[in-house]
Structure 1
Amino acid sequence: MTPADWQERLDRCPDMRPWLLRAARHAISDKPIPATLTLGDVPANRTVRRELEEIFPGCREVNGRLKAKLDPGLRDRRLWLPLAEQLKLLPHSSCTAPTPAERRDQTLRKLRLLFPREQALFASLRESEPALRYFRNAASAADDLIALVKALLFLRETPAGITLSELGAKFFNDSKALRGGARRQQFEHLLRLNAGDDQSDSAGLLNACGVIENPYTTHAVVFAPFAYRTQDGAWMEWPLRLWQRGEAAILSWRTVRAIASLRFEEPCSVIVTSENAAPFHRLVESRRAAIYTEGYPNAAVKALLACCAQAGLSALHWGDTDLDGYRIAEQVARCLPTSLHVPSAHGARPLRLTHDQHRRLAQFIDNHPEFRYLAELRHTLATGWLEQEQSIDTFSSSTLPS
């Protein structure tokens, strides 16, 4: 009942106020409301007795005292808080303002209706302490969380990447909204929950999700015999010149974003994607076309891989065989047809998974039954993993068609 409902009852029978005080005081105390509540002496006024029996079904007299047996529904203190407000036992705002947990749950119910396919993400948010803390500290938390979820879903459909400023302007009408502060922290927390990534630093996390903090320091490192055509029709041949000199090219995200097409000047049907730097350097030395993903591929790398796909290339991914390594491979495979380099079974000895690695990998397998490289992950779980560098001397040129 609302405060107005209680006021209506009190207007009808003001003499029952002393008996209702007992229930109201229990509602604002730290102790749980008991299953049997003593309301006070048995009222002499039959009207009061009748009104109380209507509110508390099953009232009975015990040794001259009126006792009420409360079922679980009547023991919910939220039921009695409006009465406590009406009896002036606590301020109005304490009765009507939802708690941070209630605001969070209301927001998650709305999100579940808006995005019914994201139940796993919302279940994680329901258990998230940082999310609850955000609702405690930010008055705009409900609107912010809805906007942040929309931004996250937008990223999935934006393989070319987007800057933090553009993302802030699009979903908060403020280009600075996600550059720092609590909202930025909550956005990163949401990205971590979605990706199952509690290891990467901020820069690595944003890169992996296609978010660009600085468009001029986000780049792709590539070694391949190609020229590219810009949107205005000009052909740029400097990557080819560097290839001829045995040097890799570094293309900024803004440069890659403006590429209209690639033209390969030497036969090249497969490009190797290398997770780590030392193996990439070995590929350059052996003059094999390659792209350095630098861990999880950032937006510039993904955009360049998409350009390679348009030019008819496929990828051979060479990386670690742990969870992150296969998730990196899966991101590459979203951009162009990809096969995996599988190190020889007679090569280096696999490394044992740590307890945390084993737990994280097992949890990922359970939560992602449709993952592209699920069989490989199960093999890693059973046998251990290899660092990419362990196969650097056995990465045969025969596995790399030109």
Structure 2
Amino acid sequence: MTPADWQERLDRCPDMRPWLLRAARHAISDKPIPASLTLGDVPTDRAVRRALEEIFPGCREVNGRLKAKLDPVLRDRQLWLPLAERLKLLPQPPCAAPTPAARRDQTLRKLSLLFPQEQALLASLRDSVPALRFFRSATSAADDLIALFKALLFLRQAPSGITLSELGAKFFNDSKALRGGARRQQFEHLLRLDAGDEQRDSTALLNAYGVIENPYTTHAVVFAPFAYRTPDGAWLDWPLRLWQRGEAAILSWRTVRTIESLRFEAPCPVIVTSENAAPFHRLVEARRAALYTEGYPNAAVKTLLACCAQAGLSALHWGDTDLDGYRIAEQVARCLPTSLHVPPARGARPLRLTHDQHSRLAQFIDTHPDFPFLAQLRHTLANGWLEQEQSIDTFPSSPP
């Protein structure tokens, strides 16, 4: 009997539904349908009794109950399954588990509602192969990505100097959550997408966002005539004594984070920030006050620059004139007033941008109209770029 046949019978006599339930339940059970079946109390409605007799020929009353004998045809389970479906006795088929792509898209829609101003970053995530791979491998990927996204937004606004352990504890209630594994990889991927540079190495990436991987090895290298005050009020002048000997001082993050103030013991209105090591060494030799950013400035460097700003200093940044160089300069400029060293036009010949460099720079210019060094970026896009070392012989050895 087809589903339509059963529906027709139920339409003609809907009141017989309770007596059909017993047979339908047997059909979906694991046990065989018996040869004799009690359908229930004898119906008082003759129309119901007649409708049942059409289905169960020879059914009879026994002790006030209606019993039916089932021949082999009526004991065929397939006969009753369409009825069980009509009576909604069959369990609903389990919903297919959402695909990784569907889970990713659902998570991105949620993030879009939470952070509508982040559409560009969300679009990058939607096209990201590593993000899709994350959803394929991690059952907690949806919650993890939301937590990682919140961690990224926190880093944009937080002061420099937070460890991965602190981030993990804050956003995952687990200090080890971001020290390694899939979450760490996805977090770094998210930072690279936000930075617009998918090739940046882990150390430079974390430095750029003020994240300290190891508070014992993070440091600032500086050459300047200053002493600093500690939380207990003591003044330590060993950086000054190293300056007097023509040597740079190395201050650990643990030291820098506790500096109350700086006191400069010689006139020093401007400190040169150097992106690369060789030019910094040349500055030390020339006895110009300088701070080595070591690429993107880490938390110790940024904090020391902020201390310089409190002491009334400004910065003259000297670095590469490519996208990364100007982004490094922009991070310095967040800490204290900053001007740029512009190599003389008669100096070294600019390097041509590669196709990837040109594309990345053009995209950055289009998506960051408020970048403070936008004019310089446009000049690089049109004319090429200089490595900092190319202008090492033309950089003035003394302040103007």
TM-score > 0.5 by shorter chain: yes
What residue in structure 1 maps to residue 186 of structure 2?
A: 186
Distance 2:251 2:116 in 1: 39
When residues 311 and 132 of structure 1 are mapped into structure 2, their CA distance, relative to the original with a 3 A threshold, is same
Write out aligned runs for 1:158-169 (5 A). Answer: 158-169=158-169
Distance 1:170 1:125 in 2: 23
Distance 2:245 2:152 in 1: 41
- The 3-state SS of whatever aligns with 1:221 is strand
Distance 1:88 1:294 in 2: 68
Conserved 8 A contact 2:275-2:318: yes
What residue in structure 2 maps to residue 72 of structure 1?
A: none
Q: Deviations over 1:186-211 (max 9, x none)?
A: 00000000001122211121111111
Write out aligned runs for 1:1-400 (5 A). Answer: 92-94=94-96, 97-397=97-397, 400=399
Distance 2:256 2:6 in 1: 74
Distance 1:244 1:365 in 2: 44
Q: Which amino acid aligns with 2:99?
A: T
Residue ranges of structure 1 left out of the alignment (5+ in a row) = 1-7, 16-82
Distance 2:90 2:218 in 1: 60
Superposed displacement of residue 93, structure 1:
4.2
Distance 2:210 2:297 in 1: 8
Distance 1:328 1:281 in 2: 19
Distance 1:305 1:142 in 2: 38
Q: Deviations over 1:84-143 (max 9, x none)?
A: xx999996142xx22212211221122122222211111111111111111111111111
Distance 2:386 2:208 in 1: 22
Greater CA drift, 141-150 or 106-115: 106-115
Distance 2:333 2:392 in 1: 22
Conserved 8 A contact 2:271-2:314: yes
- The 3-state SS of whatever aligns with 2:221 is strand
Superposed displacement of residue 160, structure 1:
2.3
What residue in structure 1 maps to residue 73 of structure 2?
A: none
Question: Cα RMSD between the aligned structures?
Answer: 2.4
Conserved 8 A contact 2:189-2:198: no
Q: Deviations over 1:130-188 (max 9, x none)?
A: 11111111111111111101111111122322001111011111110000000000000
Q: Which amino acid aligns with 2:377?
A: L
Superposed displacement of residue 13, structure 1:
7.0
TM-score by length of 2: 0.77
When residues 244 and 110 of structure 1 are mapped into structure 2, their CA distance, relative to the original with a 3 A threshold, is same
- The 3-state SS of whatever aligns with 1:92 is coil
- The 3-state SS of whatever aligns with 1:339 is strand
Q: Which amino acid aligns with 1:372?
A: P
Conserved 8 A contact 2:160-2:211: no
- The 3-state SS of whatever aligns with 1:136 is helix
When residues 141 and 13 of structure 1 are mapped into structure 2, their CA distance, relative to the original with a 3 A threshold, is farther
Conserved 8 A contact 2:283-2:397: no
Superposed displacement of residue 397, structure 1:
3.5
Conserved 8 A contact 1:160-1:257: no
Greater CA drift, 167-176 or 149-158: 149-158
- The 3-state SS of whatever aligns with 2:334 is helix
- The 3-state SS of whatever aligns with 1:150 is helix
Task: State, as a whole percentage, how many aligned pairs show the same letter.
Answer: 83
Q: Which amino acid aligns with 1:361?
A: L
Distance 1:10 1:279 in 2: 90
Distance 1:353 1:295 in 2: 19
Distance 1:255 1:105 in 2: 45
When residues 174 and 244 of structure 1 are mapped into structure 2, their CA distance, relative to the original with a 3 A threshold, is same
Q: Which amino acid aligns with 1:351?
A: L
Conserved 8 A contact 2:309-2:335: yes
- The 3-state SS of whatever aligns with 1:279 is helix
Superposed displacement of residue 365, structure 1:
1.0
Superposed displacement of residue 10, structure 1:
11
Question: Looking at CA atoms only, which structure, 1 or 2, has the larger radius of gyration?
Answer: 2
- The 3-state SS of whatever aligns with 2:268 is coil
How many residue pairs get matched? Answer: 322
Distance 1:90 1:180 in 2: 42
Greater CA drift, 185-194 or 232-241: 232-241
- The 3-state SS of whatever aligns with 1:271 is strand
Q: Which amino acid aligns with 1:308?
A: C
